[in-house]
Structure 1
Amino acid sequence: MSAAVPATAARRPAPPWGPGGARAAAYLALALYAVVSLYPFLWMVSGAFKDRFEILAGGNLVPSRPTFQTLIDTWGRLHFLDYFANSLKVTGLTVAGVLVIYSLASYAFAVLDFPGRRFLYWFFVALLFVPGVTVLLPVVILEDKLGVLGTHLGLILPFVNGTAPLTVLMLTNAFRAVPQELRDAARVDGAGEARIFLRVYLPLGRPTLIAVAVLCAVPTWNEYVLTRVSLNDEGRYTLPLALESLASGTVRHYNEIMAGSLIIVVPVIVLFLWLQRYFISGLAGALKD
């Protein structure tokens, strides 16, 4: 007859700091990460309100003589409204293309049954692990052959294509979470696939669609590499290229570079704060599986 295992030996030893200590350590680590992440941003905001002499002198994070003149001068030099229109055009059309094309593709992956569905779906997901810079040269050569190199269309098409893996993953999971009973009820009422997609799946997937729109808009708004390689006409420049022109002079005024960076990033911050509630719920719904 085997000996009984003592109850004390079967118990897992508790952490010496207790469950509250583990949570406090996690919060401390997150707080340190937040400080490290926010510190450069705070320096950017601080530099945007300094004159060129104070920013060269270094000093404190808080400007000793804050001024709006740096922002006003940079706004004029940056020609913000002209380049803003170009960035808004590229970003808006990219987001619209992503939502239209990949919502339809994700509906097919989530609901319809067709040959090769699983292969195509996992092919899209596998593209998440392909670095974008590895396809930069083929994209430029292809755009040159198609005659769209140097145009806004030559930016929009690669941006839409590059967003495919993450968008398909998120929207497919969101559409799979829609109860099958709703689809069956719509079919009983005589609705076709297009009507089911528009009246049932799109409204229920709205938080995920908004999350996808934000995740697509932010990198498109800030994109520099392909834009720098593709565009040569200053009239078609987007805001990141306009910011580069501030930093490319013989004498760099770092306060104006900081002010230009702040002007560019403010629309992104406003967009995220406006859609924050939908963005978080959309991520939770798309990634819970």
Structure 2
Amino acid sequence: MSGSRTARLLAYAGLAGYALVSLYPFLWMVSGAFKDRLEILRGGGLIPEAPTLATLTSTWSRLHFFDYFLNSLKVTGLTVAGVLVVYSLASYAFAVLDFPGRRALFWMFVSLLFVPGITMLLPVVVLEKHLGILGTHLGLVLPFVNGTAPLTVLLLTNSFRAVPGELRDAARCDGAGDLRIYLSVYLPLARPAHVTVAVLTAVPTWNEYLLSRVSLSDPSRYTLPIGLESLISSEVPRYNEVMAASLIIVLPVVALFLFLQRYFVNGLVGALKG
């Protein structure tokens, strides 16, 4: 028993140490966002000597971060909405309906999990150029929606399969069609899985840099990561403003996860069990 307790304590100590190492850069970013330029150049400790909101306010207003924020919100919102509508219906079909090639098509979607996204960058850019949407927000949303297909289909299909078939049979006896059954029976029961998918889609979309950097050339369409990159690549980067901009990018993601963490964990566990 004592050996098991010692092993548990060592595991907890290791996890605590890992948490501290992981949190330190985040804490330094928060600290730097409340320092002026001179103080951050001097270095110093984690706690600001003279905390100030001036860095955050100037970064938000002077560097057009409000416009970048709205652009990121637009791209992320449209991506999440597209994913939830398209792949929720597709997953219902994979889980419940019987049609030729269902199993092969499902595993084709899942197999795309093993295709590195970077390999699709050039074909996506060329295709968007021919379609005339390169450099637009639609040119970001469509690839983002498509890129989430494998994991989303896997999670939602498993979640729908966990719904007892007797509920569908009972709804059939009441005269409900497939769309009504999906909306009234399956969608409410799979709500935690949909919240999980929404979070897993929103976070990488909000933070996405590569396709946005390659695609967007008009500063009025920049998203937050591109705005941050423009700060870092300036001739004389103001590191306190870089920290403030990073905090502006991170806070919505942290707030989203804290608000939805209960649904996120339940949905992930339920989908994996299903």
TM range (shorter): over 0.9
Whole-Å separation in 2 of the counterparts to 1:47 and 1:19: 42
Counterpart for residue 130 of structure 1: 115
Amino acid of the structure 1 residue aligned with 2:192: P
2:257 is aligned with 1:272: yes
Aligned equivalent of 1:5: none
Render the CA deviation track for 1:234-270: whole Å, top value 9, x for unaligned: 1111111111222222111101000011011111111
Structure 2 unaligned regions, length at least 5: none
Given candidates 262, 274, 278, the residue that maps to 2:247 is 262
1:161 aligns with 2:150: no
Task: Give yes or no for the alignment of 1:109 onto 2:90.
Answer: no
Within 5 Å, give how 1:103-252 maps onto structure 2: 103-252=88-237
Name which of structure 1's ranges 111-120 and 256-265 shifts more when overlaid on structure 2.
111-120
Q: Distance in 2 between matches of 1:85 and 1:51?
A: 26
What is the aligned partner in structure 2 of residue 25 from structure 1? Answer: 10
1:88 aligned to 73, 81, 85, which one?
73
The Cα of 1:59 is off from its aligned counterpart by 1.5
Letter in 1 for 2:190: G
TM-score (norm 1): 0.92
Looking at structure 1, the residues matched to 273 and 4 of structure 2 have their Cα atoms a distance apart, in angstroms, of: 26
- TM-score, scaled to structure 2: 0.97
Shift of 1:118: 1.2
Preserved CA contact (<8 Å) 1:95 1:217: yes
The correspondence of residues 44-83 of structure 1 with structure 2, limited to 5 A, is 44-83=29-68
The amino acid across from 1:167 in the alignment is T
Look up the equivalent residue of 2:55 and give its one-letter code.
Answer: T
Give how far 1:27 is off: 1.7
Alpha-carbon separation, structure 2, partners of 1:160 and 1:151: 15
Any idea what SS the aligned residue of 2:166 has?
helix
The percent of aligned pairs where both chains have the same amino acid is 74
Q: Residue type of the partner of 1:47?
A: G
Q: 1:130 offset after TM fit, Å?
A: 1.2
Aligned partner letter, 2:229:
E
Q: Is the 8 A contact 1:143 1:154 kept in 2?
A: yes
Deviation per CA, 1:7-47: give whole Å up to 9, x if none: xxxxxxx8xx5222222222222212211211110110011
* 1:39 alignment partner, one of 16, 24, 28: 24
Letter paired with 1:156: V
The amino acid of 2:24's aligned partner reads: Y
Q: Which aligned runs of 4 or more in structure 1 are off by greater than 3 angstroms?
A: none
**Structure 1 vs Structure 2 CA RMSD:** 1.2
SS in 1 for 2:267: helix
Q: Distance in 2 between matches of 1:20 and 1:254?
A: 45
Q: Give the Å deviation of 1:72.
A: 1.4
What does 1:1-12 align with in structure 2 at a 5 Å threshold?
none
Gaps of 5+ in 1: 1-13
Amino acid at match of 1:87: S
Aligned length: 274
